[in-house]
């Protein structure tokens, strides 16, 4: 029995199938996961290790090299990229496209467990598996207003807790807050007066601030546990702690030589919203979450939170659901227009009933496609919606062919059922072949490699599902409906044709006759047309981009000031730029300015340094913009180049259509000598600058802060019973302070106790040279007795690629041509 006969003879079953598809299709369409981009696994891993206060050169030697050596035998690795920056090591591992990511993840953890030669005082390695949902947040929320840092920190924590209570929220990250700390700011002059050292203070605090178990004891008939309680209950106990006692100095307490403060840790970054201090919060959703409904809940909660707190401003920016809603709206509008056009055109040629049957196939096919997408774990995202929009014009082709053939049999005098069976059966294999060839045309996209291949795989899958759904509708659903609802009245084959139909047929016949009569001329015309098409394509007249670059709603400006610039000074420069932006005529197109001082992001890697800053401009909707994206950039660029304090700057697009991509221009130079690599990089930039359309050219090489190098006098150290570690810890305390113990107070939370030297007491090299240090026999000497100090130049960061030092030349392109032009 043919499919057509089965369809016609089982009308009730077919109708039930159609109803089920519509019910489940609508349900699936409403509740299936919706997100901005496909949930692609990057096939990459990050390893991050913190080592506070350590220079990039030492990070390279002590952290990067041991880890690179330890994971060198990891199988199926495409490349390893490492960055050593001040106080931080980052290793990025990109796996081969065909690698088993779960197995590679397990192997990486195993290899990292074997790396046991990292410095004892560095942070434990943090491993992260890169996934699209882990990297791309669904929105950014900025909390600002005329509030203190402490108040903003507490409000950010409260807001985070409330957002995490919402359905389908996976994590919330906070930037721009500072943890509570207890600072012991030491007066080095008073310390010297009493013959004490920083180590004396450290030992006194650590030996006092502890609760120690003492086992158990039986007294009489009762058993008792023994505990020694020594932890500080409040900061007054720290002030009263006795450091030393002798006949000359008497009792010396902490408050005799230091000031104890309950405060916040020093800011690593500063967050701002529209020039006001702010806390920036990133929100991420779970895989099964619907980005539209999740964002509605986030916006609602944000509004409620703002209304509860006087003086608080809560801004939700970079809402990913907006782009998804726009894509869904585009699909709906195109589908509606398609239904109307199909109905009107077919009405002219084969009547309104048959036109209605063909048009009916569009919503049925889409709903069945949504069901199939759900079963194959394909979410509704911008790319899958693009696939449905792309295939919209194809899904009615097979239905039109089947209906037209059934219509022909009706004109031949067959009844509705017989015509439906004969017409659908006769044309079924040609229709299957037509759909199969279209599906086959998309199959090569499944074989694309790398990140682009993973990202693009969604497109052929969705297109194939939609085409197969349309094939099912045209061969199974359609014949039954035509047989039942196609009208009982026999067609009149001699019925007068529609005037437009007759005109089209008449002219078509004339054209075909001429083409057949002049075969050689017809073939030559086709060949010439094909050659001209290829010439136009490869001449550059037709611009080529794999993913069309749209005008993004977010402009990202990365700034670098001179090496060693303080966080406060960088903030002043950023404020100048912000104020200029707010004075521009183009400010009407800017909804918000979100700034982060102390870091910027580059390829999902945070560049943390007091000299760095990032300014994000959140623009109005594209239709409401009075100025173009490039006009805004150019206006800002002209101002920025007049600022002498700026070392470099680059513009980035905060959003783009398609998978994560690199820079427009990226050239890698590998070698061992960084200075030589920098010379080559500058030469390459000078040559590329001659190419029109290239902007924002820079190398990844940058001078770092100046270094104060401690050169031990090993013979003197041995004489006084000292070692390099003792000297190093003393200098660390002098430079940025070190955590020496934990403070709990009356609560359960722990806070670091930081031992520091007062900021205004280390003003030049001589202050460091005269730091007191205690020898093995108890005498106090100056640091300069056992070490020389010198100032030298350092690096901002040191990059590796496959275990070789690397410098990259990057830039942007404002003029786009085809694949052989400026774009490359």
Domains by residue range for the chain, with CATH: 3-36+322-495 (1.20.1640.10), 38-135 (3.30.70.1430), 149-179+269-317 (3.30.70), 196-264 (3.30.2090.10), 545-662 (3.30.70.1430)
Cβ atoms < 10 Å from Cβ of 754: 22
CA-based nearest residue to 137, from 318, 378, 259, 329: 318
| pLDDT score at 498 | 62
Structure tokens at 132: 């699209």
Tens digit of pLDDT for each residue in 684-693? 999 898 888 8
| pLDDT score at 472 | 93
Average pLDDT, rounded, for the chain: 84
Model confidence band, residue 175 (pLDDT cutoffs 50, 70, 90): confident
Cα–Cα distance measured from residue 133 to residue 136, given in angstroms and rounded to the nearest whole number = 5
User: Which of 327-331, 362-366, 690-694, 808-812 shows the highest mean pLDDT?
Assistant: 362-366
Which range is least confidently modeled, 99-113, 155-169, 383-397, 431-445? 383-397
Cβ atoms < 10 Å from Cβ of 57: 15
Percent of the chain with pLDDT over 90: 22
Model confidence band, residue 655 (pLDDT cutoffs 50, 70, 90): low
Cα–Cα distance measured from residue 366 to residue 3, given in angstroms and rounded to the nearest whole number = 22
| pLDDT score at 566 | 86
Q: Decide: helix, strand or coil at residue 382.
A: helix
Q: Specify the residue for token string 């022909």.
A: 408
Q: Specify the residue for token string 């919606």.
A: 385
244 pLDDT exceeds 90? no
| pLDDT score at 464 | 92
| pLDDT score at 816 | 41
Between residues 246 and 516, the one the model is more confident about: 516
CA-based nearest residue to 658, from 26, 3, 17, 37: 37
286 pLDDT exceeds 50? yes
Which residues, other chains included, contact 226 with Cβ-Cβ below 8 Å and sequence gap of 6+? 213, 214, 215, 216, 217
| pLDDT score at 814 | 66
Average pLDDT rounded to a whole number, residues 29-34: 86
Between residues 247 and 633, the one the model is more confident about: 633
CA-based nearest residue to 616, from 111, 220, 142: 142
Model confidence band, residue 470 (pLDDT cutoffs 50, 70, 90): very high
Q: Decide: helix, strand or coil at residue 377.
A: coil
Q: Specify the residue for token string 């619907």.
A: 290
Q: CB–CB of 456/480 below 8 Å? A: no
Q: Decide: helix, strand or coil at residue 505.
A: helix
822 pLDDT exceeds 50? no
The model carries a pTM of 0.71
Going along 324-478, which residue ranges are E strands? none
Structure tokens at 311: 């003086």
Average pLDDT rounded to a whole number, residues 108-131: 88
Q: Would residue 53 be called left, alpha or beta, if left means φ above 0 and alpha means ψ between -120 and 50 degrees?
A: left
Cβ atoms < 10 Å from Cβ of 489: 8
Which range is least confidently modeled, 293-302, 422-431, 789-798, 811-820? 811-820
Going along 672-771, which residue ranges are E strands? 694-699, 707-712, 738-743, 751-757
CA distances to 149, 422, 648 from 692, rounded to whole Å, are 47, 65, 21
Q: Compute, in degrees rounded to 10, the torsion defined by CA atoms 510, 516, 518, 521.
A: 100
Which range is least confidently modeled, 165-174, 527-536, 738-747? 738-747
1 pLDDT exceeds 60? yes
Q: CB–CB of 799/678 below 8 Å? A: no
| pLDDT score at 481 | 86
Cα–Cα distance measured from residue 177 to residue 143, given in angstroms and rounded to the nearest whole number = 11
604 pLDDT exceeds 80? no
| pLDDT score at 823 | 34
| pLDDT score at 491 | 57
CA distances to 209, 253, 254 from 743, rounded to whole Å, are 8, 18, 16
Which residues, other chains included, contact 408 with Cβ-Cβ below 8 Å and sequence gap of 6+? 423
| pLDDT score at 362 | 86
Cα–Cα distance measured from residue 159 to residue 602, given in angstroms and rounded to the nearest whole number = 27
Q: Decide: helix, strand or coil at residue 585.
A: helix
Cβ atoms < 10 Å from Cβ of 187: 15
| pLDDT score at 644 | 86
Tens digit of pLDDT for each residue in 342-378? 788 778 777 778 788 888 888 899 999 999 998 888 8
Between residues 99 and 471, the one the model is more confident about: 471
195 pLDDT exceeds 80? yes
Half-sphere exposure at residue 763, Cβ-oriented, CA atoms within 13 angstroms: 2
Cα–Cα distance measured from residue 110 to residue 141, given in angstroms and rounded to the nearest whole number = 38
Which residues, other chains included, contact 88 with Cβ-Cβ below 8 Å and sequence gap of 6+? 48, 49, 50, 51, 59, 608
Q: Decide: helix, strand or coil at residue 604.
A: coil
89 pLDDT exceeds 50? yes
Between residues 352 and 133, the one the model is more confident about: 352
Cα–Cα distance measured from residue 540 to residue 536, given in angstroms and rounded to the nearest whole number = 7
Average pLDDT rounded to a whole number, residues 599-606: 68
Structure tokens at 91: 């290793």
CA-based nearest residue to 670, from 774, 809, 788, 763: 809
| pLDDT score at 659 | 55
712 pLDDT exceeds 80? yes
CA dihedral sign of residues 680, 684, 685, 686: positive
Cα–Cα distance measured from residue 692 to residue 814, given in angstroms and rounded to the nearest whole number = 9
CA dihedral sign of residues 514, 520, 525, 529: positive
């Amino acid at each position: 029995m043919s499919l057509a006969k089965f369809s016609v003879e089982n009308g009730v079953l077919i109708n039930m199938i159609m109803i089920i598809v519509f019910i489940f299709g609508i349900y699936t369409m409403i509740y299936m996961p919706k997100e901005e981009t496909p949930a692609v696994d990057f096939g990459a891993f990050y390893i991050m290790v913190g080592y506070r206060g350590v220079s990039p050169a030492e990070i390279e030697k002590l952290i990067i090299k041991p880890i690179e050596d330890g994971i060198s035998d990891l199988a199926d690795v495409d490349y390893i990229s490492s960055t050593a920056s001040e106080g931080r090591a980052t290793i990025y591992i990109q796996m081969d496209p065909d690698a088993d990511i779960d197995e590679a993840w397990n192997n990486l953890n195993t290899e990292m467990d074997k790396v046991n030669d990292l410095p004892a005082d560095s942070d434990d390695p943090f491993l992260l598996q890169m996934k699209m949902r882990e990297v791309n947040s669904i929105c950014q929320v900025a909390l600002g207003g005329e509030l203190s840092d402490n108040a903003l920190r507490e409000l950010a924590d409260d807001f985070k807790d409330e957002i995490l209570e919402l359905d389908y929220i996976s994590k919330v990250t906070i930037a721009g807050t500072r943890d509570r700390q207890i600072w012991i700011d030491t007066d080095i002059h008073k310390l010297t007066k009493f013959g004490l050292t920083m180590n004396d203070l450290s030992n006194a605090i650590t030996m006092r601030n502890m609760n120690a178990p003492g086992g158990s004891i039986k007294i009489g008939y009762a058993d008792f546990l023994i505990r020694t309680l020594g932890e500080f209950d409040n900061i007054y106990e720290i002030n009263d702690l006795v450091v030393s006692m002798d006949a000359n100095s008497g009792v010396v307490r902490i408050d005799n030589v230091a000031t104890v403060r309950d405060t916040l840790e020093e800011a690593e970054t500063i967050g701002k919203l529209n020039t006001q201090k702010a806390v920036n919060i990133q929100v991420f959703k779970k895989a099964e979450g619907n980005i539209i409904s999740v964002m509605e809940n986030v916006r609602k909660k944000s509004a409620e939170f703002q209304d509860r707190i006087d003086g608080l401003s809560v801004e939700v920016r970079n809402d990913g659901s907006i782009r998804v809603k726009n894509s869904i709206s585009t699909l709906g509008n195109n589908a509606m227009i398609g239904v109307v056009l199909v109905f009107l055109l077919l009405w002219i040629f084969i009547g309104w009933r048959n036109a209605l049957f063909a048009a009916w196939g569009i919503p049925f096919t889409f709903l069945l496609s949504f069901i199939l997408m759900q079963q194959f774990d394909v979410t509704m995202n911008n790319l899958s919606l693009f696939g449905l929009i792309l295939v919209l014009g194809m899904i009615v082709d097979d239905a039109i062919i089947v209906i037209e053939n059934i219509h022909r049999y009706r004109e031949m005098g067959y009844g509705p059922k017989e015509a439906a069976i004969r017409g659908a059966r006769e044309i079924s294999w040609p229709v299957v072949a037509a759909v199969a060839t279209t599906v086959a045309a998309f199959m090569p996209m499944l074989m694309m490699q790398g990140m682009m291949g993973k990202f693009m795989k969604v497109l052929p899958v969705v297109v194939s599902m939609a085409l197969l759904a349309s094939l099912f509708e045209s061969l199974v659903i359609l014949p039954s409906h035509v047989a039942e609802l196609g009208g009982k009245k026999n067609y009149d084959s001699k019925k007068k044709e529609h005037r437009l139909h007759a005109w089209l047929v008449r002219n078509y016949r004339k054209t075909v006759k001429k083409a057949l009569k002049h075969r050689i001329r017809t073939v030559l015309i086709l060949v010439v047309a094909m050659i001209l098409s290829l010439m136009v394509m490869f001449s550059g007249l037709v611009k080529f981009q794999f993913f069309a670059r749209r005008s993004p709603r977010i402009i990202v400006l990365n700034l670098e000031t001179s090496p060693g610039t303080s966080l406060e000074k960088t903030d002043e420069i950023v404020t100048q730029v912000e104020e200029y932006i707010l004075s521009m005529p183009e400010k009407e197109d800017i909804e918000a300015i979100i700034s982060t001082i102390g870091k910027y992001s580059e390829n999902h890697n945070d560049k943390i340094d007091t000299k760095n800053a990032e300014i994000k401009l959140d623009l109005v909707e594209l239709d409401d913009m009075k100025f173009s994206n490039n006009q805004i950039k150019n206006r800002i660029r002209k101002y920025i180049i007049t600022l002498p304090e700026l070392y470099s700057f680059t513009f980035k697009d905060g959003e783009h259509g398609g998978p994560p991509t690199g820079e427009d221009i990226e050239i890698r130079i590998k070698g061992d000598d960084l200075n030589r690599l920098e010379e080559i990089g500058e030469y390459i930039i000078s040559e590329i600058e001659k190419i029109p359309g290239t902007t924002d050219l820079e190398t990844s090489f940058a001078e770092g802060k100046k270094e104060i190098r401690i050169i031990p006098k090993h013979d003197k150290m041995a004489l006084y019973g000292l070692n390099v570690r003792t000297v190093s810890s003393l200098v660390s305390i002098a430079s940025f302070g070190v955590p020496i113990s934990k403070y709990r107070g009356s609560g359960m939370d722990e806070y670091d106790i930081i031992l520091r030297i007062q900021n205004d007491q280390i003003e030049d090299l001589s202050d460091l040279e005269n730091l007191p240090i205690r020898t093995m026999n108890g005498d106090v000497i100056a640091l300069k007795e056992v070490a020389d100090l010198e100032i030298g130049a350092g690096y901002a960061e040191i990059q590796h690629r496959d275990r070789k030092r690397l410098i990259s030349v990057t830039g942007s392109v404002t003029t786009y041509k085809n694949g052989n032009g400026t774009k490359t």
